[in-house]
Structure formats: structure tokens, C-alpha cells
Amino acid sequence: MYAVITAGGTVRPEFARAIGTDIKALAPLGDRRLIDPAIDAARAVGARAIAVIGSPAVAQYCAPRVECMVSAAPSGTENILRALRAFPDAERLVFLTSDLPFIEAAALAEFVARSRPAALTMALAAADAYTAEFPGAPPHVVTLGGERFANGSAFVIDRSAIAPLERLAGRFFSARKSLPRLALLLGPALCLRFASGRLRLADIEHRASAVLGVAACAIVDAAPGLCYDVDDVADWAYAHSRQRADG
């Protein structure tokens, strides 16, 4: 098992002023940086090697602790492709974003273990568990077919899923935070189900498996820490203040 972490994202001026950099992965997090928990978790679950896709500044910060640094491109889609291709011989990839301030090794290990035998999995946390874990946090819950989830930014990808994912790369990973957008990506039948209020998570899993040609599923009830990511300054401020309070 290998791990890849995408860290090419930059932030808007207001956010950059708050964190002292326009590179999201290098935002302060307590006395560390936002990317650190993802690196630590990947290492702790036994990744044979870790690749980070990022700028020269990210490379300077991360290089002593990872085996591979891949230069980031201006395009988010291209960065996803570079992550998927970082370890051509890998049988299985753990794919993480660099903005998971509360990711922990035990939670990631459980997610990886539960991902077998599917070829592609995505972490989802139950809404009640998420809001209990992060009281007062900015909203990050979606509703689908009467079920409520927080979408994750942690994936396990089998070698057999890499080529199919490359065809959809940017669209799939951009849509991950919106189950309706995933439905739109996966075809008109799912869009009709969503519009009529009948779309269920199982429908998305079934259609994704058909489109990709591999078994794809969500790992429901994954740890909330795999699903709290930092999209804006409010997300960062919550995580930073909590990390500082926790010491």
C-alpha cells in the first residue's frame, strides 16, 4: 500500500491573510501545519512510501518526511492525475487531501481495512457522529434519500480503478463534496432520481461501479476526522483554534 497526498491548492486573499500564506497545505495548525496530520496518518498505517503533490514551498517543508515529491501543476485535474500516477507499480493507493486537520491513524487504518474488497472507496461519516465530534463547526453535511452524511476526503484506490478514474479525474474528485453533483456526473437517470427525491446512496454506488467498471462503494460510518476538511477561512479557524486548545 502506498499513499498520495494532494497539496497543490492555493487560497483566496482573505484566507491567505489569515494564515500568512496562499498555500493551504502550509496553513498553521496549532504549532504545526495543515498537511502534517495526513502525512502522520499515512505513515502510521504502514504506507510503503508517501508522495506529496505540491509547490516548491510544500516540497521544502515535506521532503524530509516523504519518499516522493511531485511538482504541482496549475490545474487541479492535472494534480489529481499526477497523484494517481505517482506510484505506477502500486497495487493499492490511499488517496488523501492535505486539508484534513483531524485525521488520525486508527481511523484511517479502519477505513483501509473496511475498503476491501472494493476497488474504489470513499469515506462518509454519519451526520449525527460528525456534528457530535465537531460541535459548532461550519456546516458540512448533505442529505440524500433521507440519509444525512458528511463527505470525506479520504479514498482507497485499487490498481484496477486507476485507469478508469483517470478518464474522470477532475470531475470525480471535484464532485466528491456534493452527492447530487456525483449523480449529475454519473448520468441523467440519477439526476432524475435526485430531482424526484428518490436518489439513494446505493444508486450512486451502483452507477459508479458500472461507469468505472470496478466495484465502487462508500464506507458509511467512517470516522468524522476523515470528513472534516478545510475549504475556507471559517473551516481553518475552527480547526486551528481547536488544535491550539487541545495543546
Domain architecture of the chain: domains with CATH: 2-246 (3.90.550.10)
Q: Is the pLDDT of residue 190 over 60?
A: no
Alpha helices in 85-119 (DSSP H): 105-115
Amino acid, res. 9? G
Q: How many alpha carbons fall within 13 Å on the CB side of residue 85? A: 14
Q: Please report which confidence band the pLDDT of residue 31 belongs to, taking 50, 70 and 90 as the band edges.
A: confident
27: its cell numbers: 496553513
Grid cell locating 206: 451502483
Higher pLDDT, 74 or 58: 58
Distances (CA, A) of 2 to 14, 34, 49, 100: 35, 21, 5, 18
Output the pLDDT for position 177: 60
Backbone φ/ψ region at 217: left (φ over 0), alpha (ψ -120 to 50), beta: beta
Model confidence at 179: pLDDT above 80: no
- Whether the pLDDT of residue 191 is over 70: the answer is no
Which has more pLDDT, 242 or 183? 242
The residue whose grid cell reads 517543508 is 61
- Give me the pLDDT at residue 203, please: 80
Q: What percent of the chain has pLDDT over 90?
A: 66
Residue 65: band (very low, low, confident or very high) from pLDDT cuts 50, 70, 90 = very high
> Where is average pLDDT lowest: 13-27, 93-107, 168-182?
168-182
